[in-house]
Structure 1
Amino acid sequence: MNQPRLILAGGTGFLGHHLARYFQQLGYEVVTLTRQVRRFGQTAWDGRTLGAWAAKLEGAAAVINLAGRSVDCRYNAANKYAITRSRTESTRVLGQAIARCQNPPAVWLNSSSATIYAHTTGQQPANSEATGQLGRDFSEMVAQQWEAEFWLAPTPHTRRLALRTAIVLGADGGALPVMARLARFGLCTPQGSGQQWISWLHLTDFCRAVEFLLAQPTLEGTFNLCAPEPLLNYEFNGLLAAHYLPRWRLPQPRWLLEIGAFLLRTETELILKSRKVVPQRLLEAGFRFHFPSCPAALTDLLPQLA
């Protein structure tokens, strides 16, 4: 029996490493497309143009595109251009490669972001795929352009799913180790007002959800990849404080966060935007989360941190 092949574009980061390991354990041959081929020893591509890498897609079981420049930077004109281009160009060229296949991949999962939804405050309803309100700020428009490029791809024989992924919590990468390190030093207080919503997902459930979507041939379209229980920023920081019990708890007003973001060359949007998102379509399709609540997720993950 032939080993199914999974193409992982932009798969050398935190999520890509875990997806590669997860699907290798399921018996897949995982081919990672990366610009950093000397470092990672995988298949080279530039994320913009067709090349020898495109032959790897012929007969593949699935393509997963995670490519995109980090948003952890200042939103100046050059960075905005690079953030947008890295997402739209990689998606466009994958669509071109799939369209040229004689035996195209059965399914294509393309990253998007839960940040596509508008800032949601107070008791406003959570954003589902069916009723969510899309925003008009920079990061929200990037996600919309990203998805628009995905749906424009001429790939009628390949099932497509756009993954609006929330913050993925893991012990060895992503945002959680940084937040935990700050919490140990007392920065586990509400950031700004603390009333902004956080949508999140345990790394285990991220990998399981991708597997679930690949295995359901009738599912296509847009899916929110997040846990079913978003929580407020002050509640999340309270969980960190209860775990680490720092001697001091330092306030984090918005003005101080703005100064810190400027010095660290990043943006406060990453922590101040309110993301209230629910995975309605995943739940309706029968997916069951191992970690539906944030207290359970952090109980599992925080002891794993050094």
Structure 2
Amino acid sequence: MSRKIVLAGGTGFIGNYFMKNFAARGYEVKIISRKPGNIAWSNLHAITEALEGAELLVNLAGKSVDCRYNQKNKDEILRSRTETTGLLGKALLLCDNPPPLWINSSTATIYRHAEDRPMTEEHGEIGSGFSVDVAKAWEHAFFSFTLPKTRQAALRISIVLGRDGGVMSPLKNLAACGLGGAQGPGHQRFSWIHVDDLLRIVLFLKEHKELNGIFNCASPNPVTNRELMKQLRLVMNKKVGMPLPGWLLEIGACFIRTETELLLKSRWVIPQRLQEHGFSFQFNDIHEAFQDICK
């Protein structure tokens, strides 16, 4: 019998990376998605059947937050996270042999705008606003289930850097056009993680059966926005980088249908629990991460 894992919402940037890497490790990868050819979210029986006997469930489902926060998008952002999480919990309860570990995405933006000190799992302060409300509801939906045969781990994921999607494409485009300077004040913190380290965290939690609960997923070395853009320019060999003041970002965000929160919120997040339990990051330094991604 082949080893099996289930990826829920596994067709995006992170999901595709996970799928390829787990398949390369010899796993049969079952994907739950709205996209044709995968297990449909409307088919509870098929979801339960996929989960039966699986080694791992990873839930990455949720509408992208790279959009304008009008009411329609807000409702979909919230619903696409809480309803899918609830559906997976119900399916797990129907399994005779459920996966021993359920990893659910959350977000590091649950913490407040922080320029004064870092946020850890133990000493982080929860923020306020729409994005934080979504994160709290998401985690509540996840931890509302009592699953005697399944460990649960919520990953508060910072901004993920990788070659094939995510935030790197727009950042590289800005640098290429000579607009790779500081964005807004420039001193806001940028917590980040290389997509390969995110995968390694999933594998680490899978092997360490004593671990559960909430984990910050971020490099232990966050940088300021100004330093982020400086290191990207260095790797891309772009000497000029015009800064983008906050007012100009607001105008630009309207045109490209997104929100400036993605650039201007100061996310200062430290992976205290992972480090305490011996996890070692492959990419600690933003310059090394950019070199790997841009090579």
Change (3 A) 1:195 1:178: same
Query: Which of the residues 99, 114, 130 maps onto 2:108?
Result: 114
Match of 2:72 in 1: 78
Match of 1:28 in 2: 27
User: Which structure 2 residue ranges, 5 or more long, are not aligned?
Assistant: none
C-alpha distance in 2, partners of 1:95/1:286?
A: 29
Q: Secondary structure at the match of 1:44?
A: coil
Q: Secondary structure at the match of 1:147?
A: helix
User: Which structure 1 residue ranges, 5 or more long, are not aligned?
Assistant: none
Task: Name the % identity.
Answer: 47
1:1-306 equivalent positions in 2, closer than 5 A: 2-37=1-36, 41-46=37-42, 50-121=44-115, 124-246=116-238, 248-303=240-295
Give 1:240 deviation, angstroms.
1.6
Give 1:248 deviation, angstroms.
4.3
C-alpha distance in 2, partners of 1:221/1:97?
A: 20
Deviates more, 1:49-58 or 1:174-183: 49-58
Deviates more, 1:138-147 or 1:51-60: 51-60
C-alpha distance in 1, partners of 2:97/2:48?
A: 12
C-alpha distance in 1, partners of 2:195/2:243?
A: 29
Change (3 A) 1:231 1:248: closer
After TM superposition, the score normalised by the length of structure 2 is 0.97
Partner AA of 1:255 in structure 2: W
C-alpha distance in 2, partners of 1:102/1:172?
A: 37
Give 1:295 deviation, angstroms.
1.3
C-alpha distance in 2, partners of 1:291/1:184?
A: 24
The answer (yes or no) to whether the contact 1:96–1:154 under 8 Å persists in 2 is: no
Give 1:71 deviation, angstroms.
0.4
Q: Secondary structure at the match of 1:109?
A: strand
C-alpha distance in 2, partners of 1:144/1:250?
A: 37
Deviates more, 1:251-260 or 1:294-303: 294-303
Give 1:173 deviation, angstroms.
1.0
Q: How many residues align?
A: 295
The answer (yes or no) to whether the contact 2:180–2:240 under 8 Å persists in 1 is: no
After TM superposition, the score normalised by the length of structure 1 is 0.93
